[in-house]
Structure 1
Amino acid sequence: MRKPYDLPSLGDLACFEAAARNLSFKLASSEMNVTPAAVSHRIKALEQELGQPLFNRHYRGVDLTEAGALLFVSLQRGFEGISDSVTRIRSRHDRTAVSITATTAMSGLWLTPRLAAFWKAHPGVAISQIIEDSGRTQGVDLSIHYGDPAQEDDETRVLFRDRILALGSPHFASTFGIRQVSDLAEVPLIRIRSGANAWTDWPEWFSAMNRPAPKGAEFSLNNYLIGLKAAEDDIGAVLGWEGLLGSYLDSGRLVQLVPEAMQSPYSFYLRIHARASANARLFADWLAEQDTGA
């Protein structure tokens, strides 16, 4: 009987995908809990079946051939689709639960403080909150982003869009005598560089003030909450979204350094994934109705 799919051994394909993703037979063997020799054997068997090499082997490692790159991209797409389907199947046993993912900063500063109020209004809906700073959103009902919701294929809800302030500790403000935008041009600045969100950065903020890019020392981080802590510790000035940082300003942990502020070019928005249940949509609508204060 003819096989419905023209596929090599699925075990060989899984082994190849791990080796291609890691560009290392050794790392693939560790991931799959087999020996490097077993990985090499499976990939050689796959190459023999396909009639061409999938890796260029060098003294210091391996890289993909053109055929290997083509196969790797196809496998990744296929495995991602399978993974998403498996996640959906596993979650069907309890569709009253809602899963939502957000960055560490958005979770800590905005989402978590609102969960208690939601549970009081809807005690029968369980929330699974997933902290994810890499931007991955697979297998969840909802995800929170900073950017342009019009670029999304899925349904969205705008949460808020507010002003971006220059913030620092009271001691930092007095030490550098900061009273106007020009005073910020050469002071230490904290910059957030994260792959999950295209955070508005200092050069954009200065441009909105019709000022040249700053020339002061930089302290770069990939985590916004740690950046806020650094600002509290007098390391530098940091940009802050007014709707996220009400508690910092009210408590005096951080102060607005200059009166000027930039209107945020993007909004914080909620993406409603295709798998979202009725309870997920209920939660999404409730979140979108909340004000920006914590």
Structure 2
Amino acid sequence: MPKPYDLPSLGDLACFEAAARNLSFKMAAAEMNVTPAAVSHRIKALEEELGQPLFNRHYRGVELTEAGALLFVSLQRGFEGISESVARIRSRHDRSGVSIAATTAMSGLWLTPRLAAFWKAHPGVAISQMIEDYSRARGVDLSIHYGDPALEDDETRVLFRDRILALGTEQFAESYGIRDISDLLDVPLIHTQSGVNAWTEWPEWFSTLGRTAPQGPGFFLNNYLISLKAAEDHVGAVLGWEGLLGGYLDSGRLVQLVPEAMESPHPFYLRIHGRASANARLFADWLAEQETPL
């Protein structure tokens, strides 16, 4: 009997999604409670089935190939729908757990690294995350957004407001001779355009700092983590929120290209949906008390 869906092993796809989201086999292994060798084996099997590599392996880490990026975005869309359905089903009978929606970037860079500390303080509260890169999540207790919280009908908590920096690699800066902000006007720039969060973009950044609109070539992506990866690959400069990207800056994966920085026009904030349980409000209050750097 033919299969209704032309799909590889779902276990292989889940391993790939975790590795692609973290850009690390080791972090994916920890997330899935398996060994890095097991993650590597599953991804290799997936690559063999698809007939092409999904990652470029380097001594200091991995990066997505073009095929890998395409598969990653597709999986995100599918997992988003599955996650929403699961959250709705769980909410019908389990009000002790908490469901929270966030973009891939906010989840990977800010929310997930803080969960261990919350569980240490509140071991009885289960947290379910939903990735919402393309549409606003429904059926959840909480959601994280970038924008004006005053526009929300529900109760909100401001998480943090950040500085926005121009980031790139040292190699990129050297190749284009970037020394001051004027040098950025004609270099390749990476633009992130997402349907959920209206990310602050390059024209606004330059205008706020008293410069004209950039004239260089642009690369347009709809996923912020992929934008960061493109910047790491020396494709162009990318805008980065200082508090979110402390790990990138500390490791030297990306550097601040010019001294000028823009104060973020919007905060990252938490929306408390009307269906939020007591545990959800407990988690919301705890998140609002966290400092930006981890």
CA apart distance, 1:136: 2.1
- 2:130 is the alignment partner of 1:133: no
Query: Taking structure 1 as reference, are residues 129 and 89 closer, same or farther at Cα in structure 2, changes over 3 Å only?
Result: closer
Deviation at 1:87, TM superposition (A): 7.2
Secondary structure of the structure 1 residue equivalent to 2:228: helix
In the other structure, the counterpart of 1:186 is 186
Alignment of 1:138-287 (within 5 A): 138-287=138-287
Which residue of structure 1 aligns with residue 291 of structure 2? 291
Partner of 2:24: none
CA contact (8 A) 1:193 1:222 kept: yes
The one-letter code of the counterpart of 1:214 is P
Code of the aligned partner of 2:289:
E
Alignment length (residue pairs): 211
Answer whether contact 2:148 2:267 (CA < 8 A) is retained.
yes
Q: Output the amino acid matched with 1:163.
A: R
> What TM-score, normalized to structure 2?
0.70
Aligned-partner Cα distance in 1 for 2:107–2:227: 15
**8 Å Cα contact 2:87/2:128 also seen in 1:** no
Structure 2 match to 1:101: 101
CA contact (8 A) 2:87 2:99 kept: no
Q: Matches of 1:257 and 1:179 in 2, distance apart? A: 7
> Retained in 1: the 8 A contact 2:146–2:198?
yes
Q: Tell me how far 1:141 sits from its aligned partner.
A: 0.1
Tell me the distance in 2 between the aligned counterparts of 1:88 and 1:193.
28
- Structure 2: distance between partners of 1:204 and 1:276: 35
Secondary structure at 2:158 match in 1? strand
Distance 2:230 2:279 in 1: 38
Offset of residue 218 of structure 1: 0.3
- CA RMSD in angstroms comes to 1.7
Match of 1:204, as an amino acid? Answer: E
Q: Secondary structure at 2:259's aligned position in 1?
A: coil
Query: Structure 2: which amino acid aligns with 1:117?
Result: A
Which digits, 9 at most, give the CA deviation of each residue in 1:55-90, with x for residues without a partner? xxxxxxxxxxxxxxxxxxxxxxxxxxxxx9x97685
1:29-40 map, 5 Å: none
Cα distance in 2 for partners of 1:129, 1:276 equals 14
> Structure 1 length as normaliser, TM-score?
0.70
3-state SS of the aligned residue for 1:260? strand
What amino acid is the match of 1:104? T
3-state SS in 2 of match to 1:207: helix
CA distance in 2, matches of 1:117, 1:143: 19
SS in 2 for 1:205: helix
In 2: Cα distance, 1:112 partner to 1:292 partner: 13
Contact 1:88 1:275 in 2 (8 A): no
Shift of 1:209: 1.0
Any idea what SS the aligned residue of 1:261 has?
A: strand
Contact 1:135 1:197 in 2 (8 A): no
* Residue aligned with 1:258, SS: strand
The one-letter code sitting in structure 2 at the alignment partner of 1:181 is: I
- Separation in 1, partners of 2:258, 2:289: 31
Q: Distance in 1 between matches of 2:206 and 2:275?
A: 41
Structure 1 residue 110 and structure 2 residue 110: aligned? yes
Give the distance between the partners of 1:101 and 1:87, measured in 2 at CA. 10
Call closer, same or farther: CA 1:87–1:220 in 2, change over 3 Å: closer
Residue type matched to 1:222 in 2?
N
Superimposed CA distance per residue, residues 85-128 of structure 1 (whole angstroms, 9 cap, x where no aligned partner): x9768514211100000000100100000001100010000000
CA distance in 1, matches of 2:248, 2:90: 40
Q: Which consecutive aligned stretches of 4+ in structure 1 deviate over 3 angstroms post-superposition? A: 86-90
Q: Distance in 1 between matches of 2:246 and 2:87?
A: 37
Contact 2:186 2:215 in 1 (8 A): yes
Identity %: 79
Output the CA distance in 2 between the equivalents of 1:87 and 1:131: 12
Conserved? CA contact 1:186–1:217, under 8 Å: yes
